[in-house]
Structure formats: C-alpha cells, structure tokens
A and B are shown apart, each in its own frame.
Chain A
Amino acid sequence: MRPFRANLMICGGTACVSNRSFDIKKALEKEIEKQGLDDEIQVVTTGCNGFCAAGPLMVVQPEGIFYGHLMEKDIPFLVEEHFLKGRPVKNLMYVPPETEVPIPKMNDIDFFKGQILIALRNRGLIDPEKIDEYIGREGYYGLLKVLTSMTPDEVIKEIKDSGLRGRGGAGFPTGVKWELTRAADGDLKYIVCNADEGDPGAFMDRSIIESDPHSVLEGMVIGAYAMGASQGYIYIRNEYPLALQRLLIAIDQARDYGLIGENILGSNFSFDINVTRGAGAFVCGEETALISSIEGKLGNPKPRPPYPTTSGLWGKPTNINNVETWANIPVIINRGANWYSEIGTETSKGTKVFSLVGKINNTGLVEVPMGITLNDIVNKIGGGIPDGKKFKAIQTGGPSGGCIPAEKLDLPVDYESLAKAGSMMGSGGMVVMDETTCMVDVARYFLTFTKDESCGKCTPCREGIAQLHRILTKITEGEGTMEDLELLENLANVIKDTSLCGLGKSAPNPVLTTMRYFKDEYLAHITDKKCPARVCRQLNTYVINAEICASKGHGCGVCRRECPEQAISGEKNISHIIDQEKCVKCGVCFDVCKFNAVTIE
C-alpha cells in the first residue's frame, strides 16, 4: 500500500457535525483532488477531539497542527497554502484570548496540556468506523492477553489491584463488583453497559462511543470472560443517533472478525452483545430501572437488595458498568494494574473524563488524572471565564450533584473530596457559572429537571421534589419567607433519606449545597427582595436613565413599542419613563435597548 504523507483528522463528534464538519470534509476531499494531492493526503473522520469550543476542527498529522472554526470557504486557500506549498495557515489556528498569538500545534495548546488520555486514548487518532485502525493502536490486545494467558480470577484480581472505581457516579470498586458477579450462583450471567447518559450538559459517554466504540466492546468481552457471562447488553439512549450508529457498525465488525460471538479468537469462550435503545428517561440510568427497561417493562427502580450482582436482568446475576468504566478495562489489562494505580490519588485511581460546559472559554471534553484541582480544570485547561467575568461556582455531578463555590477551587477532584464538599463525582458533567448566575435560580432549574424526570413510584421523590421546586419558585418571585428556608432544608433531608433510588436521594443536593455556600443570596431574595445577580426578574426594578436615553438614544422609542403593558411613555428626543405601577417586570425594555439606558435597581 502506498503511504500517505499526511492525514487530516477531521472531527466527527456530534458538536462538530452539527457545525457542518461533514461538509467541510467533502470540500477538503474535492480540493485535494483538484490539486492532485489525493494519493498523498488522506482525510479521516474521527470521533470527538474534545475541544468543542474551537469546532468544527481538524488536526493535521504528522505535524500536529490544529485548525479550528473551519468554514467551507476557507478550504481552497488552506489546501493550496498548507498541503501544496507547505505553509500552515495562521489565521485558522487557535488563538488564546489573552495573548492573541496563534498556537500552531495541538499539543502546545493549554487545553490539551495536563490531560492524560486513557479512556479517550484513541480520540482523534482513529476512524471509529474502522476496526483495523483500533487494532492498529493495540486494540483487542487486552482480550488476546486474557484469552491466552490469564484465568478469570487473575483478570478480576488485576482490575481490583488497579483500583478502578465505577465511572457512572457512585464510584463502587469495579473489581469487587466483578468478583460478586462471578461468585453469584447460576450458570447464566449477564453484563450490561450503561450508556444512558442523562445529565444536562454531560456528554462523556456519548463521545467515547462516538470516537472509540471498540474500546467499550473489548472491555465488555474481557469482563464477560472474567465473570463467566455469555450475553451482554448495551443500553443506549435513542437520542444519541451518531453514537448508536457507530456502535452498531462496531458490533457488526467485531462479530465478522469473531471478536464477539462463538469461539472468540478460536478459543472455547463465547459471548455476544445486543443493543437496547432507551427512550431517554433520566431514571433509566439507575441500574434497577435500567434492568426493567431492558426487560421491556416500565423503567421503574426497585428496592435493593437484592443487588443486580445476585438477581438482576431476568433474575440472573448481572454486572452493570458505565461506558467509561468499560473503556478503561482494555488498557488496564494491557499495561497492568501497577501502571494504572500510579495515576491518581490514594483512594481514586486513574483518570476521569469530564465535559466542561457553561460559562467557560474552552468548552469541551477533558480527561484528567484524579486529584487534579478544580482550579486547574477551570483556569488552566478550561481557559477561565469569558469576558473577564468572575467565577462563581462549579456544578459537578449533574442535577444530582452540588455547586462548589470559588473558595473551594483548590479542592482535589476525587470521589471523597467532592462528597465531603456536598457534591459528587457523578458521571462527569461540570457546569461552570459566573457572577451573572443566580444560585437560587440554578437550584430551581435543576429541580425542574429532576421533578420532571421523577418516575413517581415513591412519594418522597414524587411529592417532595415538586414541593422543593414550588418553594424555590416562590423565593425567586420574591414571595419567600424565612420559614421557607428551614422548610427547604428539612424537606431536602427527608427526601435524601427516604427516597427509593438514587434519583430522589441525590435530587436535593443542588438545594442543600447552594444553601450551604450561598446563603446570602437566599437571604437577599427573601429579606431584601433583591436578586444580586439580576436574574430573577420579578425582583428587579427597571428604570430608564433619563440622560442616556435622551442624549445617546434620542428617545428612540423601541422600548415603548416593545413593552407588552404599554407601561413606557415618552417621545422622540425626550427621555422615556417606566410606569412602575403598570410594569410586569418582563425585562423586554432592558433586552431591546441598544444604548444600555435601561438599568436594573
């Protein structure tokens, strides 16, 4: 085979695809052919590169040059300059906001420094739809190793020694769970991959499947060998069409190669994988609800014990691990528990993938060693807060997690430290909030989500969350009382203690942590009837600055025309006035004024 001198790795993760990366790929191929370079340069679609904020993006290998924010119109110039004449194009490179000097190489960009890729080891390096490329990066070598040289007990010991803990949120030691499943009575055992990622703003599992589906499959086959399971299920939400498509392609390829199915790699070990599509209910990420859903029943949780390891899918011993956990397995087997356990902290080993979203410059997907501080994630990798605003809080663990304030930014990211701060590791969503975020409103937002997603089976969760939400709404509308604060806290603790499953047990976390760290904001809403972040509009008083309105805006009258209550009066060249009696505080005048003449008091 004639080699290519360059590979253009164009990101085909969901974020870049929705920014037309497939069109850019076509344009590249067309232009490369036009320049007669098509037998020298290959264009490759990869999974998510991680740096979603710079998408649609492409990395040119072997040089490692990073191009972001690509548009189809840039392509002819780019191909001629860089690939024909060898001059990389500066104005398509990443420019950090603080220096304004382009950084040509991917590895020199702060976002990529400090990351350690284990679960995401193949991101941006392989085409996820080609099994040969996965094998080219030593894929399925872990499977080969266990089939030829390890007993099931040795595999379990290796995973236990590695210190790997469940990446779905709870952090249960993976090796121990495997051991329980292996020890459970019964000839028929199942393993399940939980790909029902439902936290708002979280997309780790989706990206792993989109960029490297075989790493999950290989992890599952190794797990099945260790636990003596003959059938596996991947429960993935139907809202992930690209991930689902790549997963199905990967399963077909693996089956063709005999890497799943009967007599894997010529051994006497057989194991197959089915895919079950979920309809997107948040509660189905809870393991007992997930099992019900695979069985074709309503996705409702059941009391534990019995735990799935003894009685799970169709009453058989079942081991459930999350996507990221499975993706770690092949590397741990291949490189050994010792290597893995050197990364991370005393109790939390290895790395964790986080999706970094919200008010942050470098939105994207990062994989970092356990024990890294929140500060490093937010300010180094994440590039800080846009527009020079001040950091206020970071929400970890999704709607079940908590908000951690600025004074705790030195907190190391591991299971125990986050739990101690009232939050949790969760599956890895991180939502960054700046000073323009109201913490009461944030708590209300997350409760809106959990209220809607509660399955309704147990009373504390069904009724309790709705009441928490009602009280929070009352406070944001300026109707809150001091008794409400006490009620919130009591109710939250009751829901935590008495709910049937993890959804209810964790749903009050956003309320409890915001009350713990941002009590003054609650008090401002209740006693001063003010929202310090100016988010809760019912607490705002909108006033027009007479001088700005007359001198800069010349009484343009846009606010007067837009006001739904005709509460604004005035004429051309004369300052306008809001009639506070008529004002319903919708904030339209504030939004439409081009001269910033409308202020909030």
Chain B
Amino acid sequence: MSKLKIEDLQKINEKVRQTMLLREGNGRARITVHMGTCGIAAGARKIMDTLLKIIEEKNVKDVILTNSGCAGLCSREPMATVELVGEAPVKYVDLTEDKIHKIFVEHVQDGKIVTEYALAVGSERTH
C-alpha cells in the first residue's frame, strides 16, 4: 500500500461509509422485505436480490435493507415496506422485479409514493 495523501483519507471514508451507516442503523431510507415462509415461497428472495443489485449498481449509500417475518397478508406476498426518515412507512404488495425497481427509483430515491402498488400508508400498531 502506498502512503496516503490528504485526499486519500476522504476516499477511504467514502468507500466504507455505506457499511458504517448500516452498522450505525442511520439510513435515510429503510426497506424491509417480508420474508416469512409465504413470502419466500412467493419470491421474496428474488426481491431482496434485486434490491441488493440496484443498490450496488446505483452505488447508493444511505439506504438500509433488512428483512422481517410474515406481514400477515400472505395472499399478497411478496411484500416490502419502505420507510423514509420522518415519514410514515408504506407497504407494497404483489411485488415483481420491475415493480420494486420502479419503487426504488420513485419512492426511495425521489420520495414519491408509487400508489398503484401500495397497499396502505402506515403500519399496524403494536402494543
């Protein structure tokens, strides 16, 4: 490894920034793919895989991708919830690779909810 110059520190920082944001749990947006048995059977793994690819291709650093269990609406799987910081979460249903791509570009990146794929705004409350 060659000796670092002043500007190199910033470059290294940017390179690992995404991993650090993930560990700090501080993303601008969070996408949760529901991966219960029903979700996996309906193709949730494919959705997860697509999202990982999009994030890699677009070199997005501030989006946290995670999974959770069955959301309770097994007939509409695969499902995903998109939550931007400070906004209510939105649940998307009957997802395909094309749909999640559109959701990523329009909602996650541009902040506009894709209403035609959305089930509802807001999350069920837990007590």
Contact = CB atoms under 8 A, between A and B. Distances in A.
Partners in one complex: yes
Interface of A: 1-7, 9, 39-40, 61-64, 83-87, 125-126, 132-133, 135-138, 140-141, 144, 148, 256-259, 263, 265-266
Among B3, B64, B65: residue with most chain A CB under 10 A: B3
Given A62-B22, A63-B66, A135-B9, A3 B17 contact: no
Given A62-B25, A258-B4, A265-B4, A125 B9 contact: no
Nearest to B71: A86
5 contacts: A1-B15, A62-B25, A85-B40, A132-B15, A136-B17
B18 A3 contact: yes
Given A87-B69, A141-B9, A133 B16 contact: yes
A136 B16 CA distance: 5
B6 A132 contact: no
Interface in B41-95: 48, 52-53, 55-56, 64-69
Among B24, B36, B67, B69: residue with most chain A CB under 10 A: B67
B117 to A, nearest CB: 20
A50 to B, nearest CB: 16
A83 B27 CA distance: 20
A62 B9 contact: no
A132 B9 contact: no
A3 B65 contact: yes
Contacts of B115: none
A54 B35 CA distance: 29
Contacts of B36: 85-87
A133 B20 contact: yes
Contacts of B1: 256-257
Contacts of A148: 6
Contacts of B30: 62
A130 to B, nearest CB: 8
Given A6-B66, A144-B9, A258-B4, A62 B27 contact: yes
A5 B5 contact: no
A137 B20 contact: yes
Given A63-B25, A256-B1, A265-B4, 10 more contacts: A62-B23, A62-B64, A83-B67, A85-B35, A85-B67, A86-B34, A86-B35, A86-B67, A133-B19, A266-B3
A454 B32 CA distance: 60
A484 B109 CA distance: 78
Nearest to B69: A87
Contacts of B16: 132-133, 135-136
A135 B13 contact: yes
Contact of A86 (B2, B56, B68): B68
Contacts of B56: 1-3
Shortest Cβ-Cβ A-B pairs, 10 listed: A258-B3, A136-B16, A86-B67, A87-B69, A86-B68, A5-B65, A62-B25, A86-B35, A2-B56, A61-B23
B12 A62 contact: no
A139 B40 CA distance: 40
Contacts of B37: 85
Among A133, A135, A265: residue with most chain B CB under 10 A: A135
Contacts of A2: 52-53, 56
Nearest to B26: A62
